[in-house]
């Protein structure tokens, strides 16, 4: 067991190392080809600061920030780089002018910009990995070994990158990147390398999809809420089925693919298909030569973008697609009340409610099926709720990764927010969890289930 944790810690270190090495390589090549080698210092300062700050999280046994929070920050920084690169592309109009044009910005501003971009890029990733390492260490109470293995992982990555650079001197890479392309590259590294759980979470694509689902859902629901219109009773199931497809998985997955491809497509259009500006030239031959140079330059700059598009599509198929979208809907297990208390064992030969999957239990009360659902949250606490919310007819919930999804209106609810009352949230139940059992007062369930059903 301890071995697998050390192995995983090593992988995390390795991943972060490779990521940092790749970003360094491309950025440094970019600087070389633009004759701005001196800016590398700001980059080194930024990455060292991020590493130190990130590693300092290893010192807190109880991490002050949650993995989820960092996950959100990472997603946001991904979006930030994506938006930046779009803006830079728009600003640069096909020629590399944006920040590095001589005399356009003062040296100090440029240095600060490089420094802050580096910190914005690396700090969330390093922190996320540190927090996750902490969790690993706690699990086995071996902080020292975990840290050492992670450091070993980083060293291996460093050796690989170093020898690769020594052997092949791949600084010609710089000629493929203009500033917008560089930012797009950073966004792509985020997209594919910023999951915080080792290699098991290499891609942000599922979270992009879920973010999209949530966005559309909020758009629809919050509009109703704002208008103070009780939407669920108002619209029929068939209508919800229809609306549901928009924040349902299928739509979101296609839409997220399009969203991810939109910017690269813009790049391609910008770099490959726009008419060339007419170069000032004395002779036909000089004009042809300049145009040929411009053409080959912009073809080169399109290469990384096409590469990203292929990457996005293949990753979308392997990470996204169906896998993210299937909803797990278990059969409820029948339970009976004992002295007015429902007792559910935490673990028996058939089920283990702590296994991270959704569990449902049901009993019949006055001829009607009443369902309770139990699921483990990320902080290892158990959430006990009714398998129904206050507004939908009680169709119940299914599980999709770390969300539960309303089977009636397709609303996704993050598992870690379970316990909140109201709205689309499953109705939380007061439960007594201890010595191997969950105990719920029958009265509590009946009262709330009755309330749920009286809403209509």
Chain-centre distance of CA 166, in angstroms? 34
Strand 333-334 to 382-389 pairing: unpaired
Minimum Å gap between C-beta 292 and other proteins is: 4
Q: Are 68 and 416 in contact (CB under 8 A)?
A: yes
Q: How many residues belong to the site for other proteins (CB under 8 A)?
A: 9
Instruction: Pick the stretch among 158-166, 289-297, 382-390, 401-409 that binds other proteins (CB under 8 A).
Output: 289-297
Neighbours of 372 (CB within 10 A): 25
Measured from the CB atom, the residue of 238 and 283 that comes closer to other proteins is 283
Minimum Å gap between C-beta 269 and other proteins is: 15
Q: Is residue 219 involved in binding other proteins (CB under 8 A)? A: no
For residues 171 and 180, give the distance between their C-alpha atoms in angstroms, rounded to a whole number: 18
Measured from the CB atom, the residue of 104 and 295 that comes closer to other proteins is 295
Site for other proteins in 257-286 (CB under 8 A): 283-285
Measured from the CB atom, the residue of 139 and 292 that comes closer to other proteins is 292
Among 37, 41, 288, 420, binds other proteins (CB under 8 A): 288
Measured from the CB atom, the residue of 228 and 285 that comes closer to other proteins is 285
Measured from the CB atom, the residue of 227 and 285 that comes closer to other proteins is 285
Minimum Å gap between C-beta 298 and other proteins is: 13
Strands (E) located in 335-435: 337-338, 341-345, 359-365, 368-376, 382-389, 397-400, 403-406, 412-414, 426-428, 432-434
For residue 232, CA distances in Å to 370, 391, 402, 423, 455 come to: 21, 6, 24, 10, 11
Q: Is residue 295 involved in binding other proteins (CB under 8 A)? A: yes
Kindly give, in sequence order, each residue whose CB lies less than 8 Å from that of residue 162, ignoring residues fewer than 6 positions away. none
CB half-sphere exposure, 76, CA atoms < 13 A: 9
Minimum Å gap between C-beta 65 and other proteins is: 41
For residues 134 and 129, give the distance between their C-alpha atoms in angstroms, rounded to a whole number: 8
Instruction: Pick the stretch among 189-197, 239-247, 292-300, 321-329 that binds other proteins (CB under 8 A).
Output: 292-300
Minimum Å gap between C-beta 280 and other proteins is: 16
Measured from the CB atom, the residue of 251 and 311 that comes closer to other proteins is 311
Q: Which positions lie near other proteins, rule CB under 8 A? A: 283-285, 288-289, 291-293, 295
């Amino acid at each position: 067991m301890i071995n697998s944790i050390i192995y995983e810690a090593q992988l995390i270190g390795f991943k972060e190392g490779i990521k940092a090495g790749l970003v360094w390589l491309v950025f440094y090549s970019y600087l070389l080809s633009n004759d701005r080698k001196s800016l590398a210092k700001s980059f080194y300062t930024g990455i060292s600061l991020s590493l130190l700050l990130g590693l300092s999280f290893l010192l807190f046994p109880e991490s002050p920030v949650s993995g989820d929070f960092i996950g959100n920050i990472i997603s946001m920084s991904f979006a930030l780089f994506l938006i930046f690169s779009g803006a830079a592309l728009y600003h640069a109009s096909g020629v590399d002018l944006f920040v590095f044009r001589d005399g356009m910005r003062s040296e100090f501003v440029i240095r600060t910009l490089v420094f802050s971009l580096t910190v914005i890029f690396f700090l969330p990733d390093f922190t996320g990995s540190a927090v996750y390492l902490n969790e690993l260490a706690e699990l086995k109470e071996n902080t020292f070994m975990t840290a050492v293995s992670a450091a070993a992982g980083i060293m291996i990555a460093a050796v690989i990158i170093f020898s690769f650079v020594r052997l092949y001197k791949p600084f010609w890479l710089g000629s493929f990147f203009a500033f917008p392309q560089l930012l797009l590259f950073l966004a792509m590294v985020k997209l594919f390398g910023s999951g915080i759980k080792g290699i098991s979470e290499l891609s942000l694509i599922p979270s992009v999809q879920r973010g999209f689902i949530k966005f559309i859902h909020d758009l629809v629901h919050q509009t109703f809420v704002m208008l103070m219109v009780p939407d669920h009773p108002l619209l029929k199931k068939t209508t919800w089925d229809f609306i549901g497809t928009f924040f349902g998985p299928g739509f979101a997955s296609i839409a997220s693919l399009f969203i991810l491809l939109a910017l690269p497509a813009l790049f391609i259009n910008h770099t490959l298909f726009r008419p060339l500006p007419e170069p000032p030239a004395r002779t036909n031959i000089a004009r042809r030569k300049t145009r040929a140079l411009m053409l080959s330059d912009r073809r080169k700059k399109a290469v990384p973008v096409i590469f990203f598009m292929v990457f996005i599509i293949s990753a979308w198929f392997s990470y996204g697609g169906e896998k993210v979208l299937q909803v797990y809907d278990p059969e409820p297990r029948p339970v009976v009340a004992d002295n007015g208390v429902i007792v559910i064992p935490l673990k028996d030969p058939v089920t283990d409610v702590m296994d991270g999957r959704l569990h449902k239990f049901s009993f019949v009360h006055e001829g009607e099926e009443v369902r309770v659902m139990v699921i483990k949250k990320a902080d290892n606490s158990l959430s006990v709720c009714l398998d129904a919310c206050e507004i939908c007819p009680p169709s119940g919930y299914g599980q999709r990764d770390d969300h539960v999804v309303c089977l009636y209106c397709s609303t996704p609810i993050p598992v870690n927010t379970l316990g909140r009352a109201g709205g689309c949230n499953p109705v939380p139940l007061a439960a007594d969890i201890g010595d191997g059992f969950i105990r719920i007062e029958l009265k509590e369930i009946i009262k709330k289930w009755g309330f749920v059903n009286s809403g209509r």
